[in-house]
Amino acid sequence: MIFICVRWPVKPEYADRWPELTADFTAATRAEPGNLFFSWSRDLEDPHTYVLIEAFAEDAAEAHVNSDHFRRAQAELPRYLQRTPQVRNTVLPGDQWDDLTEFRVR
């Protein structure tokens, strides 16, 4: 899977509305064939930053970045940001989450 983590530095005046502002993009991406997960979290230390963790099947990434909803997001979302988002991505084996064995719940 292609695993991607993006830090989105949202302008303070839009931070509380970020889930609403990205709702269509989120729903369309989650509906894509090959999307494994697409999950937003708010940074507890910086409430103006959201962290997006997403993953795609290796053959699905090109379709994602060429989709209409991705292009709309490219055109619309930057106006709500303080600066360019930061990203890390890598290819990982498998297509699922693994259990954190160091914190096994019994």
Number of other residues whose CB lies within 10 A of the CB of residue 10 = 24
Domains of the chain (ranges; CATH) run: 2-103 (3.30.70.100)
- Determine the Cα–Cα distance for residues 101 and 89; give it in Å rounded to an integer: 24
8-62 confidence digits (pLDDT tens): 999 999 999 999 999 999 999 999 999 999 999 999 999 999 999 999 999 898 8
Neighbours of 55 (CB within 10 A): 23
- pTM as predicted: 0.92
Using DSSP's 3-state secondary structure scheme, residue 70 falls into helix
Distance CA 50, CA 12 (A): 12
